[in-house]
Each structure stands twice: as C-alpha cells, then as structure tokens.
Amino acid sequence: MKQQSSIYFALVFILIASQACSGGGTASATAGVTTTAIPEIGQITPTAIPGPLPSGYMELLDNKIASGEWTQEEGLVTLLKMFAGEIQVSEAGLGQSVLESEGTGILRLAAGYLQTGTDQAVKDEITRLLTLLVPSQEALDRYSIPEDQATGRVSGLAKPARQDEEDCRLLWANGFPDSRTPVFPCFLRGGREVAGYSYQVYYPLAWRGDASRAPYYEATLQAVDDSITLFQNYGGVRQIYFVFTTLADVRDTPSWTTYASTATRYGDQAFFNATEACPVVINPAAMALDIPEYKQAMAHEIFHCFQAWNLPEQLDGPGRDSDWWAEGTAEYYSNLVYPSVNAEHRFAAKFSSVSRFSPLTDMSYENFAFFQFLGSRIGPIALIALLTDMPTHPGRDFQVAALAAVPEMEAAFEEFVQSVLDNTLTDSDAGPINMPVNYTNEFLFTEISSIDFSGSPFVVARYKVSFAGESEFSVSTVPEGPGRAAARVRGTIGGWASIPETVRACGQLDYALYVITTTPAVVRTETVATSVVTEAPCDECLIGRWEATNDSMLSYMQSVTAAGGENVPTVESVTGIASLDFNANGTGTGGYENFMVHETGVGGNEGTEVFYTFQGFSSGPYTADGSELLGLTGGTTEMMVTVRIVANGASISSTTFPVRPEDFPVSSAIPTAYICDGDTLTTWPPAEGVEPIEWIHVSP
C-alpha cells in the first residue's frame, strides 16, 4: 500500500505542479540570445510624478515658500488673515485647494514665530491675529450665559435696549472688548465633566431655535465624552474649551474651507492669555460635515490638545519638523475613538502617491496609514511611549534618526510596506484601507539588460518590473547597502521573495519590487540583471479557468492505482473541484476545493477505506507551446491533504498535513502533453499507462 500511495500522491501533485506551474530553476537553452547591454529608451517607462493636492495648509505654505511665492512671514500672515475673514481666498492667491482644511498647524507655527522670529512688525501682526482668532475663555465667559438660563434675564448680563444682534456679530471682529466695556450675552455655554476636568462649549445665542445647528453642539459634547474617556488611558488630560466662531466667512471660492483650529501651547508660552485650558475654535464650514465625520474631526482636535499636554517639547521644539507625526497620530487616534467612521481614508490615495518619493518624515496627515499599522502592531500606549523619544529640536534628519532607532523598526517598516503593496492594511475596525496602486517607476526587460532600483530611508520605493512575453529570462539580483528588497508577481498577495533565477512569460509578466531602508543617510540599491533570453512559447487557448470533470478524474485515479499491480485499492469516487487558471501574463494557478478521493480495499483488506481530501493551490509561471505544458516547483504552494482511515465502518484515524513538492521523488520538470480545443482541454499526466483528464472552460 505504501508504494501505491506514494505514486498516487506524486501524480496527483504533478497534476497541479506541472500544469499550474510554480516558478524557479535555471535556464535550459542559449539560442536566440541578444547581446545588447543596455535596454533601449523605449523599453523604460518612467512613472510621471503627479501633483496631488497639498495635505493641508502647512504643506501649502511649504510649497509656496519653496517656489519663492512667499516668505515664511508673508505666508503666515496671509493665512491667518484668511482664517480671520479679513481677506478672501482670491486675495490670498492660494491657487489649488487642500485635502485637510485645519488651521492647527499654522497657528502652532505662528506661535513658534513669536518665540524665534526676527521681524518685530510681523510678530506684532501675528499676535494681533492670534488674539483675534482665539478668544480667551475669560473673554467668552464675559459674553456668555449658561444654556439653562437662555430664556430668562440674568443680572449684569441683560442685553442693552439699543443693542441688537449686530453687536454680537461684530463682537468677535472687535476683539472682545475688555471688562470695562458694558457686557451683553452673545453666547450660550454648556459642558461636560470628564475625568475630573471641565470641558466647556460656547455657541452663538442666535442659534436658539435653529434645528440645523443644535446637532453639532450635541456632537461636540459627545466627542468630548468619547475622546477624553479613551485618551485618559494613554496619558494626562486637562481642560478644553470649544467655541463656534462668529467671524465672517468671506471665502469667495467654494472649495476652500477651514473646519477647526486648535491653539496648542508653544513651550512655556501661550498666546491665548496663559489659560490652562486648550482652545478649539470651530468654523461654520465644519457644519457641512455629516455628524459622524464631525465627531471624528473633534476627536482629532482633542488629540492635538493631548499632544500639547503630554508631548510639549517633542511637539513644539522641532517646529514644522514634528508635523509628520503630530498630524498622522491625530488621524490615527481619532479613528480609535470612532473606528467605523474612517474619515482619515481620504488621505489613502495621497499616501500611495507621495510615499513613492518622500520619506514618512516629510509627510503629515497621510501618515495615518503608518501609525495605524504601527499602533495595531505595538498598541496605542506603546506608540505614545515611542513618541516621547522623538527629537525636541529642529532638523528632519533628527526625526529620521529617531525613527530608525526604534527597536525592530526595519522589520516593522518592511511589514508595513508589504501590507501597503498587498492592499492588506487594516483599520481600527479591522476593515480594509484601500489604496490605489502607484509605482516609483516602471521597467520592461526584453533582452540582456541591467537596471538599478533604489530606495532612500523610509521611502516606500516600489517598482513594476516587467518581462516581455513568450520569453524565458535568466535573472540575477545583487543588493548593495543596508536595507531590504523583495518582489512578487503583480496581482498576487504575499509570497515576497527574490525575483526567480528563471522567469518565463507567456504574455508580459509583471513583478512588484520594493527596495527600502531605514538606515539614515544611505541608499539601498537592488540591481536586476538578465544574462540569457530565449524563446518561451505561449498558447492563448489555455487562458481562463478550467475545471476537471469528475468522471475523467475518477478514471485517472483508477488508472493510477491499477498501475500498482496486485492487491491495489479501488477508487470508488471523486467529488469536489479540481481547477486550473491560466493568465495571459504567463502565470497560472492550480487548486483543489474540497476535492475528495474515496478508496476501498486498502492493503488488500476489503473492510478498509481511505478518504483523501485535498484543499489549496499552487501558483506561478508556466509555458505552453500548443502540445506541451512545462513548469517547475519551488514557488507558492499552499495545499493541505487530510487522510481519514475507516475500518469496518468505524473511523480509526484522521491526519492532515501539507503537500510539499520536495516530498515527492518525481520530477515535475517533465512536460505534460495536452490538447486545447475551444472549451475543452485534455491533459495526459506524465506517467505511462494512466488515463487523460478532461477539463471544461468555465470562465475567461
């Protein structure tokens, strides 16, 4: 029985290995080799660098400073004036819009200029604008009443007889006159007590009776409850006040909006009158968001306050250079509060685009993807601990070095890169984060060539490396510099390894290749070279999915066992699906779906039955010339076999084990004869005396 089973399993595996084919091996011929050392210009197709929208106002500012349109001083004053409604978008000359219209980064950078700037006139103007944009809680209290007193008169806060709503409309623009000015109510205030601290929300008195505004007030309070309850597990929390601005919204370009701004501290200084509470100013545009997205936006702003309380030196010391993690983590932690909202996914396409060329430390909001991965890997508490090791002084090189120094970062970054390219990155709610496929560059091998592929620190450098159809290439890869590189057939998931030493392509065969490093100030290079190119025929008749008929599979199995001689078992039945999928790019997959073979009379004992159940697949490149299929083992194989033995009607054992090509002494490099005619495929497995298998074409 042992001998018969060995032949049986070997031939069953050959059915998949030699017809679906998984790659690897060496070149078998040298005829027709071309000797051109460098590919022609037309064979190299660079990917055009797109011009995606800036992630936010900080990137917009950087772009305009880099182009010479603004100095830093001009940019800060212009944007602050636009936030305050003193100039329109057309007057600011902003051009294109931004993906995230949050003013927090600009307010933080402007506050930093008060500490480090050299132009006193600019500092005075910034101070005026910041004071205008962010009223103190003391000033708001002077012009507000508790919401439960909105319907009655309050001593000292009664509205003067000749005052009307115009006074309240102008109050903010006039800078909230000080306590010597007659006071009248323009705001209602309500709040929450969470974790021992007070969180106040101020909203215009004119909102009374407006059913369209009330939900945003309630949503703000709910965001406080949800966010502070979660964030207190990760670090210290303190007071926050929220205010819905009444500044005029004079934007003349509908696509330009500013939702909210958080005025975090700058070192030991605070431009918001040294109050201990963290202010969040909410603009009218925020009320165009749906309520779930609005609440996540508030959670984002609340986390900026959390950063200011728990990471003040790391946040403010580097200035602009901390933006890559300040905004990336605010997006991630806001999603932890509201895991099913996923508003941060709006940056997925931007991350896919810019990560090809820019390191993580040059990005901002789009880094939500990296922090989502890292937070899931090490946990949100450990991620906060990691941020405490970030630099407290300017210089992006210091940010790169600090990130590179995180234990096991190279392995983690590679795992992140693979999840991005495989599109298997998941969100806090375990759902997918879908990113479009973008490549740093694309190359096509048609002849003997050598190409260098490179990657810089924390850049997700990835390439589409293609091989011309109906060809066989001998390939070598040579690494240079610290880092990692791996490839897989484009369109598959996982199975990252080196490009095989032999590549056979039916149609054009595309690989995805990443080349990465986390070592500061170095470049990792992966040289891919072809040394031999020969013809490899292709049969278009095979393209599509084929399923074997169970009748022919039964005849095949019966002929396999009959070849074993006397006292061989009888194959009673086969059920399930055996399939072959041939792609036009020269890759194929063969697999089993609950494919069961039932034998009786095992070992010459009529009462002994064996049930073999096959589940899984093998995939990789193949070649076919119209009469023979050829493939080699050594590629991707995920197949399991369950063997259940029944004696006299009673199950006595059941064992499941993986099918591995190396377990079988039969060479799968033997060609398999076939005939493909329309929707019918007939194969003759490479063993003498066995019956052919009939396949039906079930889909293109």
The DSSP secondary structure of 428-449, one letter per residue, reads: TTS-B-------SEEEEE-SSE
Q: How confident is the model at residue 178 (pLDDT cuts 50, 70, 90)?
A: confident
The whole-angstrom separation of Cα 614 and Cα 623 is 25
Task: Indicate the range of 206-210, 337-341, 386-390 predicted with least confidence.
Answer: 206-210
Q: In the predicted model, what is the mean pLDDT of residues 467-472?
A: 90
Q: In the predicted model, what is the mean pLDDT of residues 516-541?
A: 93
**What DSSP string describes 364-386?**
-GGGHHHHHHHHHHH-HHHHHHH
| Cα distances (angstroms) measured from residue 76 to each of 92, 120, 133 | 11, 14, 13
Q: How many CA atoms lie within 13 A of 435 on its CB side?
A: 30
CB atoms within 10 A of CB 619: 24
Does the pLDDT of residue 72 top 90, yes or no?
yes
Site of tokens 């694309």? 442
Q: In the predicted model, what is the mean pLDDT of residues 159-187?
A: 72
Q: How confident is the model at residue 171 (pLDDT cuts 50, 70, 90)?
A: confident
Q: In the predicted model, what is the mean pLDDT of residues 558-574?
A: 83
- Helices then strands, each counted (H, E), the chain: 18, 26
Summarize pLDDT for 348-372 with one digit per residue, the tens: 999 999 999 999 999 999 999 999 9
The whole-angstrom separation of Cα 84 and Cα 110 is 14
Q: What is the pLDDT of residue 384?
A: 98
Does the pLDDT of residue 173 top 60, yes or no?
yes
- Answer whether 600's CB lies under 8 Å from 608's CB: yes
* CA dihedral angle for residue 201, residue 204, residue 207, residue 211, rounded to 10 degrees: -30
Does the pLDDT of residue 258 top 70, yes or no?
yes
Does the pLDDT of residue 26 top 80, yes or no?
no
Q: In the predicted model, what is the mean pLDDT of residues 635-652?
A: 87
Does the pLDDT of residue 33 top 70, yes or no?
no
The whole-angstrom separation of Cα 60 and Cα 698 is 53
Of residues 394 and 590, more confidently modeled: 394
Q: How many CA atoms lie within 13 A of 298 on its CB side?
A: 32
The whole-angstrom separation of Cα 678 and Cα 132 is 77
Tokens of 409: 């970062």
Q: What is the pLDDT of residue 259?
A: 79
Of residues 291 and 85, more confidently modeled: 291
The whole-angstrom separation of Cα 475 and Cα 501 is 5
The whole-angstrom separation of Cα 13 and Cα 16 is 5
Of residues 240 and 259, more confidently modeled: 240
The strand order across the sheet containing 278-282 reads 144-146, 187-194, 197-204, 240-244, 278-282, 260-262
Provide the angle, in degrees to the nearest 10, between the axes of the packed helices 323-337 and 291-310: 130
Task: Indicate the range of 36-45, 201-210, 401-410, 488-497 predicted with least confidence.
Answer: 36-45
Tokens of 572: 């009673």
**DSSP-assigned letter for residue 638:** E
**What DSSP string describes 242-284?**
EEE--S----SSTT----EEE---BTTB-TTTT-SSEEEEE-G
Of residues 173 and 449, more confidently modeled: 449
- Pick the most confident of 126-135, 136-145, 411-420: 411-420
Angle at 657 between CA 655 and CA 663, to 5 degrees: 130
The whole-angstrom separation of Cα 19 and Cα 578 is 12
The whole-angstrom separation of Cα 435 and Cα 424 is 10
CB atoms within 10 A of CB 688: 7
* CA dihedral angle for residue 398, residue 401, residue 403, residue 404, rounded to 10 degrees: 170
Q: What is the pLDDT of residue 582?
A: 87
Summarize pLDDT for 659-679 with one digit per residue, the tens: 765 554 334 446 789 999 999
- Judged on CB neighbours under 10 Å (0-12, 13-18, 19+), 283 is buried
Cβ-proximal residues to 37 (8 Å cutoff; 6+ apart), any chain: 448, 449, 450
- Answer whether 351's CB lies under 8 Å from 366's CB: yes
The whole-angstrom separation of Cα 483 and Cα 427 is 27
**What DSSP string describes 510-555?**
EEEEEEEB-STT--EEEEEEEEEEEE----GGG-EEEEE-HHHHHH
Q: What is the pLDDT of residue 565?
A: 67
- Is 42 in a helix, a strand, or coil? helix
Task: Indicate the range of 164-178, 620-634, 647-661 predicted with least confidence.
Answer: 620-634
Percent of the chain with pLDDT over 70: 84
The strand order across the sheet containing 462-467 reads 44-45, 441-445, 462-467, 509-516, 484-489
Q: What is the pLDDT of residue 256?
A: 62
Summarize pLDDT for 389-439 with one digit per residue, the tens: 999 999 999 999 999 999 999 999 999 999 999 999 999 999 999 999 899
Percent of the chain with pLDDT over 90: 54
Q: What is the pLDDT of residue 252?
A: 57
Tokens of 330: 């605010």
Q: What is the pLDDT of residue 659?
A: 76
The whole-angstrom separation of Cα 199 and Cα 194 is 8
CB atoms within 10 A of CB 288: 10
The whole-angstrom separation of Cα 451 and Cα 206 is 67
Q: What is the pLDDT of residue 468?
A: 93
Q: In the predicted model, what is the mean pLDDT of residues 7-14?
A: 39
Summarize pLDDT for 492-505 with one digit per residue, the tens: 889 899 999 988 87
Q: What is the pLDDT of residue 560?
A: 83
Task: Indicate the range of 560-564, 567-571, 637-641 predicted with least confidence.
Answer: 560-564
Q: In the predicted model, what is the mean pLDDT of residues 212-230?
A: 96
Site of tokens 């490093």? 517
Partners of 451 in the beta sheet? 528
| Cα distances (angstroms) measured from residue 33 to each of 448, 474, 697 | 8, 11, 36
Centroid of chain to Cα 532 = 37
Q: What is the CA radius of gyration of the chain?
A: 34
| Cα distances (angstroms) measured from residue 572 to each of 14, 599, 601, 647 | 21, 6, 10, 16
Tokens of 408: 């096991």
- Is 680 in a helix, a strand, or coil? strand
**What DSSP string describes 576-612?**
EEEEEEE-TTSEEEEEEEEEEEEEESGGG-TTEEEEE
Handedness of CA 393, 395, 399, 405 (dihedral sign): negative
Partners of 693 in the beta sheet? 683
Does the pLDDT of residue 340 top 60, yes or no?
yes
CB atoms within 10 A of CB 675: 13
Report the mean per-residue pLDDT for the chain: 84
Summarize pLDDT for 608-618 with one digit per residue, the tens: 999 999 998 88
Q: In the predicted model, what is the mean pLDDT of residues 334-347?
A: 96
The letter for the amino acid at 108 is R
- Answer whether 199's CB lies under 8 Å from 228's CB: yes
Q: What is the pLDDT of residue 613?
A: 94
The whole-angstrom separation of Cα 611 and Cα 70 is 76
Cβ-proximal residues to 63 (8 Å cutoff; 6+ apart), any chain: 54
Q: In the predicted model, what is the mean pLDDT of residues 371-383?
A: 97
Q: What is the pLDDT of residue 621?
A: 73
